Structure 1
Amino acid sequence: MNHTLDPIWDTVDDLHTWLDAESDLPPQQETLLRMLKLTEEVGEVAQAIIGATGQNPRKGSTHSWRDVESELCDVIITAMVALRTLTPEASEVFGAHLRGVAERSLKAAS
């Protein structure tokens, strides 16, 4: 694999391999569940934000902004592993997509 961010994508590959080895589900079901895992992780970001801002009067402040950062990292990792589950060329797919988004966005900002 020709990674643009070798250490990061190597770790994603390792996580993908580990998850595959630990799963006894059919591959198609495993793939769908990895996509759904993103929803769970995004929900944890929301929970951390609510806790960091004390928006639940019954619970008060239960999280810090560091917790929010950590949960956002979990979303990113989960998305990277999900992308790797769909394609062995995940780093190339992501790199090309990021370049396209940056080109459109930064061009529009000029």
Structure 2
Amino acid sequence: MTDQPPPSETPASPDLWTAVDDLWTWLDANRAHGGQEGLLLRMLKLSEEVGEVAQAVIGATGQNPRKGVTHTWEEVQGELCDVVITALVALRTLTPDTREVFTRHLAKVTARSLGPSAAGEARQ
């Protein structure tokens, strides 16, 4: 038995690239700082999110004896998702061609790591 709702009750998942654009638009409309300062702060947000992953891992393992177990591995998963989302929004801040830039770079990393034939398969 699972804790997931039946397919009819599962909310529709947003398209990744549409969601990234929507989040970027919302953040851009509500930013406290513009220009170079706003750009740098958007990039620094990524470091904050990575720190939250570290905090969650430490909490999930009970590494801090004073605090004990304070997080779950599901919370670690959520924090990792926040890192990915934040990185994609930061990339969108640098270029409106986020999807193309990311896809091209993923193909390079895949080819470098798995060989050229794997990169071609990843694009299909």
Same fold by TM-score, threshold 0.5 exceeded?
Answer: yes
More helix by proportion, 1 or 2? 1
Describe how 1:1-110 pairs up with structure 2 within 5 A. 7-107=15-115
Q: CA deviation at 1:24?
A: 3.6
Letter in 1 for 2:30: E
AA aligned opposite 1:77: I
Residue 27 (structure 1) shift: 2.3
The higher radius of gyration belongs to: 2
In the alignment, structure 1 segments of 5+ residues that lack a partner are 1-5
Structure 2 equivalent of residue 3 of structure 1: none
Structure 2 residues without counterparts, runs of 5 or longer? 1-13, 119-124
* SS of match in other structure, 2:68: coil
Match of 1:50, as an amino acid?
Answer: I
The whole-number CA distance in structure 2 between the counterparts of 1:29 and 1:93 is 23
How far residue 62 of structure 1 moved from its aligned partner, in angstroms, is 0.2
Deviation at 1:39, TM superposition (A): 0.5
The CA deviation at 1:7 is: 1.3
* Offset, 1:70: 0.2
Structure 1 residue runs of 4+, over 6 Å off? none
Q: CA deviation at 1:44?
A: 0.3
- Amino acid paired to 2:102: F
Q: What is the number of equivalent residue pairs in this alignment?
A: 104
Query: Comparing both chains, which one has the higher relative contact order based on Cα–Cα distances under 8 Å and sequence gaps of 6 or more?
Result: 1
CA RMSD of aligned residues (A): 1.6
